[in-house]
Amino acid sequence: MTVHAQAPVARKNIENPDKWINTVFAKGTVPPFSFELDGVPSEKFIKGWEYEKKKVTAKEPGSICYEISYKDKKSGLKVTATVTGYTNHPAVEWVLRLAATGNGNTGRITNLRAADFSIKEKGVSQYQMRRCRGSFASVHDFEVIEETLAEGQKLSLVTDAGRSSDEFALPFFNVTAVGAADGFVFSIGWTGSWKADFATAGGAYTVQMGLENADFYLKKGEEVRTPMASVLFWTGKEKMAGHNAFRRFILAHHSRKKDGKPWTPLLGGLDWGDPAPCNEYTCLTDELARAIVRRYKQFDIMPEVFWLDAGWYSTPEGNHFDGDFRWGVTGNWECDSERFPDGFVNMSGLMHSFGSEFMVWFEPERVMKGTKFATEHPEYMLSMKEADDYFLFNLADDKAVDWLCKYIGDFIEINGIDHYRQDFNTGALAEFWAENDEKGRRGITEMKYIEGLYKYWDYLEKRFPNLQIDNCASGGRRLDLETTSRATPLWRTDYDYGEPLGYQCHTYGLNLFLPLSCTGIYETDFYNSRSCYSSAMVMNFAMLSRGQDSREMKRVYDEYMAIRPYYLKDYYPLSGFGDITSSKIWVAYQLHDPANGSGYVVGFRRPDCTQKRYAVDLQALSPNGTYIVTDCNTGTTREMYGGDMMNGFVLALDEAPDSILIKYVKE
């Protein structure tokens, strides 16, 4: 098999991003991206194109940015790479924009690869990648996968259905040469259909990534953008050094901030346990919502943010109850006037008076036929033959995006909403795009649609500087570098709600790359509650039911608030990798603060596990240091040396299923 990379890339000079960028994207060199123009590979002509480089203002501290353009005098096709390097992290990333600046259309553009480069380690013939599956509402969501590529082997990965982390792969990849003490994390910023090819050839590891479907020309004056490519170089004894370096990078440069720091909230649901056929929020009323808010206050477990999910909006026929959480009426983004006669101002006002904030669910992209959006603005709808009952809101149309920005923005402001939850429940996105592409312009609709999505989110965050966006797409099916920069997956999977074994697996895998995520908690016992802990959590306790104990709710609340900051520190899985879905095993992980040497160990003895004792080797401790170790189940403490904790630290539980939580503090 012949594998050819467009350009070699090295870690040399990465500590000096100015020098790295000026070397890799230098005039007269082949850059680390590629495409074909009328069938001719760009490496054959791009060095002869007009070259221009200028340093521009970076978006945030700790980074530098260049715009580097390549222009064909003959056709007017201009390719501009916006390249960002980081002074406090060994990382660089770039986004391409293609523009038709000539007097007519460009030639045919195919095989557009936003990344096309190779990295070579001396004396190496094998490379190993560690990655995770995407989300598909399974116990195997975010399962860790390790793949070794020997000389001449190739691995191809794609996302599914137009959503960036749907089913097959999370678009983050930790790669190291077998036997080496360093590596790199390659990641993709694209909330659509990407394709990535990885190969080993000539002792080098090749990365090629771009749109899954791109075969188009640009019209005069037209411009499009590509996926973002990002590379972070790391050094360490094994791959967890790379994962933790990447987690720190995400927190520093690709996460929303509150008071300058990454933040995800403790949330509280507004409804639970209504009789059938009620579900989601179809039976919630303004009065009931405010009563539930007061109940949280009474139990002393006030969430930072209250969560109102699907079903609050009107129906085309009026505000009657239909019992299906109004799946069939997305596109009517106005309050059900019978249940919420004053909108949400009474609810949000009460929440604010208690020091909490308010988040509301929307799904603006899936527009059901006959709804307000569909009937009043048919010009903003994308249709598809196979979609009998719904349209796609056309985010590829600038006028449509501008209208949506103002409509939703005004609704947020009028109703006192603090945070915005966006869901997206269709597996036919790529089909919509393909059917709406003009002949000979495959990929144009997708590129403009994804850029429209970013424009919409950026508008909301600019208009409401403290607003957090929750990114949900049938669970965590839109996770990539661009979305993590703007939004947090506060419902990371639609897997069986509250099922603890699956939730443990999801936390175990996803935390390798993304420190910010959330799921729901339903029960208060050690095993169930700790299975739901993450950097954020939504309390879905049965607030109006006799089946819950408010004292236990408060205990879980206090325990979670104590451990929560550690989910933003370094992370170490302690039970190996591969399929960890068995009910017959222990699973454990460690959260460690390198600044002060403290941390937690979270362990689970699953229901069919017969092993009462489980030894783990803790990481990142000082071998000669002394630690105060507390069993949070019993409150007992003891002193231990770090070296002993790093070589067979024993977790013990007499019953199954159960969980143990250990806190350690360095003296």
The span from the CA of 250 to the CA of 242, in Å, is 12
The dihedrals phi and psi of 484, each to the nearest 5 degrees, come to: -65, -25
Determine the pLDDT at residue 587: 98
* Cβ atoms of 314 and 336 closer than 8 Å: yes
Which residues have C-beta within 8 Å of that of residue 79, sequence separation ≥ 6?
Answer: 33, 35, 46, 69, 70, 71, 96, 97, 98
* Cβ atoms of 453 and 394 closer than 8 Å: no
Identify the CATH assignment for 570-666 out of 1.10.10.10, 2.60.40.1180, 1.10.530.10, 3.40.50.2000: 2.60.40.1180
Determine the pLDDT at residue 274: 79
Question: Measuring CA to CA, how many Å separate 128 from each of 114, 148, 156?
Answer: 22, 4, 14
What per-residue string of b and e applies to 423-432 under the rule 16 or more CB within 10 Å gives b?
A: bbbbebbbbb
The span from the CA of 584 to the CA of 605, in Å, is 8
Determine the pLDDT at residue 51: 98
Strand, helix or coil at 581? Answer: coil
Q: How many residues does the chain have?
A: 667
What pairs with residue 614 in β-bridges? Answer: 651
* Cβ atoms of 348 and 290 closer than 8 Å: no
User: Taking the domains of the chain in order of start, what are their residue ranges?
Assistant: 7-240, 261-568, 570-666
Of 643, 575, 640, give the one whose Cα is nearest residue 614. 575
Determine the pLDDT at residue 597: 98
Q: Which amino acid is at 375?
A: T
Of 456, 452, 453, give the one whose Cα is nearest residue 464. 456
Determine the pLDDT at residue 280: 83
Determine the pLDDT at residue 493: 97
Homologous superfamily in CATH for domain 7-240? alpha-galactosidase from lactobacil brevis (2.70.98.60)
Of 65, 32, 12, give the one whose Cα is nearest residue 209. 32
H or E segment to which residue 528 belongs: helix 526-531
Determine the pLDDT at residue 1: 39
Q: How many Å is the Cα radius of gyration of the chain? A: 26
What pairs with residue 229 in β-bridges? Answer: 94, 188
Distance from chain centroid for Cα 654? 37
Tell the burial category of 577 from Cβ atoms under 10 Å away from its Cβ (0-12, 13-18, 19+).
Answer: middle
The span from the CA of 18 to the CA of 20, in Å, is 6
CATH architecture of 261-568: Alpha-Beta Barrel (3.20)
The span from the CA of 107 to the CA of 194, in Å, is 23
Determine the pLDDT at residue 355: 98
Determine the pLDDT at residue 180: 87
Q: Which two tokens stand for residue 108?
A: 């045919």
Tell me the torsion sign for CA atoms 39, 41, 47, 50: positive
Of 359, 289, 312, 345, give the one whose Cα is nearest residue 536. 359
Which residues of the chain are modeled with pLDDT < 50?
Answer: 1-2
Strand, helix or coil at 622? Answer: coil
Of 509, 488, 506, give the one whose Cα is nearest residue 496. 506
H or E segment to which residue 71 belongs: strand 63-71
Determine the pLDDT at residue 145: 97
Q: Which two tokens stand for residue 46?
A: 């791009």
User: CA 24, 513, 255 angle in degrees (round to 5)?
Assistant: 80
